[in-house]
Amino acid sequence: MAEPRLATPWLAAVEIVHRLSGRVRLRYRFPRGVVADVAGLERLTTSLCGVTSVRANAHARSLTVTFDPDVTDAETLREGVSVLAPPSGIKPSRPCDRGPVAAALATLLGTGLLPPPLRLPVSLAGALPLLRHAATDYRESGVTSHVLEGMAVAISLGRSDYTAANTTTFMLALGEYMEDSIARRSDELLKHLLRPASDEIWVLRDGVEILEPAATVVVGDTVIIATGSVIPVDGTVLSGEATVNEAAMTGESISVVKTRGSSVLSGTLVEEGRLAVYAEQVGSSTAAARIADYVEQSLVAKSEAQLEASRLADRLVPTVLKLAGGSFLLSGDWRRAASVLQADYSCALKLATPVAFKSAMFGAGKAGILVKGATALERLASADTFIFDKTGTLTSGVLAVTDAVTFDAQYSPDDLICLAASVEEHYFHPLAMAVVSAARATHNRHFDHQEVQFIVAHGVASVVDGKRIVVGSRHFIEEDEAIDTSGHKEEIDHLYRDGKTLLFIGYGGQLLGLLALKDSIRPTSAATVRRLRELGARRILMLTGDHRERAEELATALGLDGFHAELMPEDKARIIAEMNAQGARIAFIGDGINDAPALAGAHVGIAMQKGADIARLTADIALLEDEVERVADAKEAANAVMGLIKTNYRATVGLNTAILGAAALGLLSPIATSVLHNGTTIGILLNALRRRGARQTVKG
């Protein structure tokens, strides 16, 4: 079969990254501006001589090619792929049209070389798109900034000032192109925050791997993901082992090893290895799809600052028109009127604010903070009261063994921990995992035991050295196992008063000992509280369902302004509503299902990374990392973008007012006004596009 070729190859580069007998993995790169049709590339590679199968991976930009070694080899295939022609219809992408700019420049440079009778028609032809746009705007919206620009060009043409008219047309075309490019770039920053999922997914059907359209995959399917592939579903690993880069979803740069039982998220990348994953969330229900949806919504949602800037720009258009008329009446000089009409406030005011917000949202996303629209940043910047849920927010939400109390001298505290861990290691429960973790920190002695029995909501039981061992709740020990604990009531009550969770260990029908566990304060919580105060927080409070003594201890340790303890879920929403009524602008930070009403009722809700789905969906801001310091980072980013918007606002009004005044006084020609106005507008937009870093190291 003839292999399609091009004088200019479709691919910019092709290299071999791995080879085996009969198999090669190639990495490719499309030239800039060329549509990346990966499916087409896969089809064309399949047509090469000796190729038996091809698997393309768009995200890793790789082709895994299986071939007949008797017919071809790896290097021949690399060369064949490097000269492939694109499928018909593939053309370079053009994000912004440069045609009007080029035409306007040609008109500006060439008109002076034409005979005088041709200068008017050529200049008029060059300005026609602008004049047509102005006429349409006038019919539909009345006097707008485009109408003012059209009037300025028409005045210059009417006075036979072709240089001024063509310069204005060129500068407006250049300015519009730059503005469009900058606005598009701010959108692209957000759209590329997450990798798009593949349109096709490998699924295990009756023991055979089949490539199916993503839309056909349902909950319960077994999805196969190999090296270089982006995980397309949320689910649990059934088999295999792989290192997974979760930076796109969590912001964490260190890859994580996933094995049987591990949870995986869509949008994360398998760097090495192979996994079979049970699909629990597919399509639009996956975490990546929900985040992508938030991103899309953010591109169209308008903040109050953006709406106010737009309203002000519209209100100032009649003022500019009146100033142009007044300057002409006083001076009788049409050049002054044309100069004034060149300078308006509209472009910079209307574009700089959304560009700044989108740029800040992208920067926040890269720092592990998902902001669901510009209004969320705006509200966070104005928040003066920060209210934290306790567990999983200010605390780690992970229990750790703090005390091992033994009632038998033959067993040391470490022995007690290891004995409990020997039977608990088979049980995937937070308490069990905490005990196993504590055992690893000791001499880690292992006690041989018989088969472990799991008693749901109670604990575990087994047999060690012929004696029954039980590990679990007080109720399990006392009621089900008839073990008397009354002789140790004082120790038990003391540990309960300290706000600790207790595990009771019974052995041979006697209470052998107690393990006390407690949630720990995050090491960065205190520093986060201090930073929030520096960033403008007037009050920082805590809400919790925990005991009052424990809550008071935590609030004192972190330097909080107050707390509410022993709360029911509905109490949190009630307290938020009461403080809202008092005028507080509240940022609430939580992670549980019971936090959803409070998150929804706050001025701005922030959900922790390990929070319940409903909490993350309800919140205005969702953290992509399990780090409470990201809350202060989000506040810092919000303050920075609002400061940038205010700076740009003042610069827009100040610079354009100065240009208008100089034009009205006859100090600027139409050409100079056009250059200054468009130049300052582009400068302000570029300033708005600057990304302020959202991440700052928190020091304890």
What is d(CA 200, CA 215) in angstroms, rounded to the nearest whole number? 8
Cα–Cα separations (whole angstroms), residue 580 to 195, 540, 584, 592, 626: 39, 15, 5, 21, 28
**In contact, 237 and 261? CB cutoff 8 Å:** yes
pLDDT of residue 590: 85
Topology annotation, domain 13-82? Alpha-Beta Plaits (3.30.70)
d(CA 388, CA 555): 11
Among the ranges given (127-131, 202-206, 582-586), the one the predictor scored with the smallest mean pLDDT? 127-131
Reported pTM: 0.58
Largest pairwise CA distance in the chain: 114
Question: Rounded to an integer, what distance in angstroms lies between the CA atom of residue 349 and that of residue 352?
Answer: 6
Catalytic one among 389, 415, 546, 626? 389
- The alpha helices in 85-115, defined as continuous H runs, are 99-110
Could you state, in order of their start, the residue ranges of all structural domains in the chain?
13-82, 99-192, 200-285, 295-312+323-359+639-689, 369-395+522-634, 397-520
Alpha helices in 602-669 (DSSP H): 613-618, 629-664
Q: Which secondary-structure segment (H or E) carries 471?
A: strand 467-472
Q: Residue 195: is its pLDDT beyond 50?
A: no
Same fold, 13-82 and 200-285: no
Token pair 């018909």 is found at 88
- 442 token code pair: 């000791």
**Higher per-residue pLDDT: 525 or 37:** 525
For 379, the token pair is 């509200």
Encode pLDDT of 526-549 as tens digits.
Answer: 999 999 999 999 999 999 877 787
Give percent above pLDDT 90 in the chain: 14
Does the pLDDT at position 698 exceed 70?
A: no
Q: How many CA atoms lie within 13 A of 215 on its CB side?
A: 0
Three-state secondary structure call for residue 389: strand
* Three-class SS state of 387: strand
Residue range 53-95, pLDDT digits in tens: 888 876 567 888 988 888 888 888 888 888 887 654 444 444 4
- pLDDT single digits (tens) 102-120: 887 788 788 878 888 888 8
CB-based contacts of 531, cutoff 8 Å, min separation 6? 629, 632, 635, 636, 696, 698
**Which residues, at least 6 apart from 80, have a Cβ–Cβ distance to it below 8 Å?**
3, 45, 48, 49
Please, are residues 23 and 68 in contact by the beta-carbon 8 Å criterion?
Answer: no
β-strand partners of 616 = none
Q: 3.10.20.30, 2.60.40.1180, 3.40.50.12780, 3.40.50.1000: which CATH number matches 369-395+522-634?
A: 3.40.50.1000
Q: Which residue has the tokens 């008329």?
A: 325
Q: Which residues contact 327 (CB under 8 A, 6 or more apart)?
A: 333, 336, 337, 340, 663, 664, 665, 666
Please give the pLDDT value at position 93: 42
Instruction: Name the least confident of 28-37, 419-428, 574-583.
Output: 28-37
DSSP SS3 for 551: helix
The CATH number of the domain covering residues in 200-285 = 2.70.150.10
- Residue 355 confidence (pLDDT): 74
Tell me the angle at which helices 346-366 and 304-331 cross, rounded to the nearest 10 degrees: 160
Q: What is the pLDDT of residue 457?
A: 58
Let me know if 648 is exposed, middle or buried by CB neighbors in 10 A (0-12, 13-18, 19+). buried
pLDDT number for residue 346: 66
Q: What value, to the nearest 5°, has the Cα angle with vertex 367 and ends 364 and 373?
A: 20
Strand (E) or helix (H) holding 273: strand 269-281
- At residue 466, does pLDDT exceed 70? yes
Dihedral over alpha carbons 464, 467, 469, 474 (to 10 degrees): -170
1 neighbors 47 (Cβ within 8 angstroms) = yes
**Stretch 654-675: mean pLDDT:** 84
3-state SS assignment for residue 572: helix
161 classed as catalytic: no
Instruction: Indicate the length of the chain as a whole number.
Output: 700
**Residue type (1 letter), 13:** A
Cα(73)–Cα(495) distance, integer angstroms = 71
Alpha helices in 563-611 (DSSP H): 569-581, 596-601
> 573 pLDDT exceeds 90?
no
pLDDT at 196: 45
Q: Report the chain's mean pLDDT, rounded to a whole number.
A: 78
Confidence band for 653, pLDDT divided at 50, 70 and 90: confident
Q: Give the tokens for residue 513.
A: 């000992």
Q: In this structure, are residues 195 and 245 in contact, taking their beta carbons and an 8 Å threshold?
A: no
Which CATH code, of 3.30.230.70, 3.40.50.880, 3.40.1110.10, 3.40.50.2300, is assigned to 397-520? 3.40.1110.10
- Where helices occur in 442-488 by DSSP H, the ranges are 474-475
Q: What's phi and psi for 157, nearest 5 deg?
A: -65, -40
Sign of CA dihedral 113, 117, 121, 123: positive
Contact between 645 and 352 (Cβ < 8 Å) = yes
Q: Please report the DSSP string for 205-266 in residue order.
A: ETTEEEEEEGGG--TT-EEEEETTPBP-SEEEEEEEEEEEE-HHHH---S-EEE-TT-EE-T
